[in-house]
Structure 1
Amino acid sequence: MAGAGGRLLHAATLLTSETTEDNPHARRLLTAALAHTYAEWGRLRGEDPYNRTRQQLAVRFARGAWRFRRARGGVLQGLTPRERLVLVLRLYEGVPEEQAAALLGLPVERIHTVCERAVAAAGSSAAGPRRPKEPEPARAPAPGPEPKPEPKPEADPEPEPAPRTARG
């Protein structure tokens, strides 16, 4: 358990969307989860303390997620708290969908959907902050030489009117 502190701190930092250099909320979250695991130590009965601490970390984050809505400059700052939680559990911690669903009290399909959406949003937020989709403005043609106008087909000349004869 002692060697897992760095990994759990990194998970907490991802959850709170803080930077690794400045993560006081993540440290408080992890400290509370570790304190709970320590208090339950005698009752673990063969349960993995790392899993119990990770579970406590997720539950405490989910209960207080409203505090972590504001972006703090972390890697996952463009995601909602639920998206961050599912993404960290599924991809960073490797928790199966069924376990994540049971832990969060959500259907497995919802975990799958949230994870897919979070992965897509995290990929797009790597390029910049996530914004609602707006219609794209019309694009100007690419600069370059102007195309030559096509030659107009020669029209058949109109027949000349027949000469008028004077009648008289």
Structure 2
Amino acid sequence: MRERRAFQNARRAREFEAFVAGAAGRLLHAATLLTAEPPNANPRARRLLTLALAHTYASWDRLRGEDPYDRARQQLAVRFARGAWHQYGALGRSRPSPSPSGAGAVAVLARLTPQERLILVLRMYEGVAEEQTAALLGLPVERVRAICARAMTTLLHPPRGPAPTMAKVVPS
């Protein structure tokens, strides 16, 4: 009995290690996009990933044919949403100021609210359907569609900065 349990635990650990080896990179990139941290300095994204993978491992035996990647991605999204709610008071009410140290896509995503980032990453980077995104976040499909469209507009047409000041010309 003890040997059988040890064998099952070893098999479970090998299966999970194989899953992590294949999925962790993509999940970390998704978490980095969600947190809008630079890829080389992303402690919040790494913590999100660690907690999502820990939850996935804890429920590994109960997956019963479910896709473990979907489960880990759901955990990542839910944990990000919860953390953003606590950090900003509400998931979509405030826009964090963009960090100047960000690079590329991450700096651009920093202009979005956490809710906009979450929906945009799920829809565009992860390819999750509107209906699934809406169900995961507890929002109507129309709301998900509107938030995604607003986020895309913000990314494609960023707000202009203030007009440059003109030097005053003094007649001589």
TM-score normalised by length of structure 1: 0.72
- Aligned mate of 1:120, from 143, 146, 153: 153
What's the counterpart of residue 18 of structure 1?
Answer: 37
- Aligned mate of 1:50, from 63, 69, 78: 69
Amino acid aligned to 1:44: L
Say if 2:121 is the partner of 1:88. Answer: yes
CA distance in 1, matches of 2:97, 2:80: 14
Write 1 or 2 for the structure with the bigger share of helix.
2
RMSD: 2.1
What's the counterpart of residue 166 of structure 1?
Answer: none
What's the counterpart of residue 102 of structure 1?
Answer: 135
Give the total of aligned pairs. Answer: 131
Identical positions, percent: 66
Task: Please state how far the C-alpha of 1:53 moved relative to its aligned partner.
Answer: 0.1
Deviations 1:13-51 (Å, cap 9, x if unpaired)? 000011111111000001000000000001111100000
CA distance in 1, matches of 2:43, 2:155: 23
TM-score normalised by length of structure 2: 0.70
Which 4+ residue blocks in structure 1 deviate beyond 6 angstroms? none
Larger Cα Rg: Structure 1 or Structure 2? Answer: 1
Q: Which runs of 5+ in 1 are unaligned?
A: 137-168
What's the counterpart of residue 166 of structure 2?
Answer: none
Q: Which runs of 5+ in 2 are unaligned?
A: 1-18, 89-95, 164-172
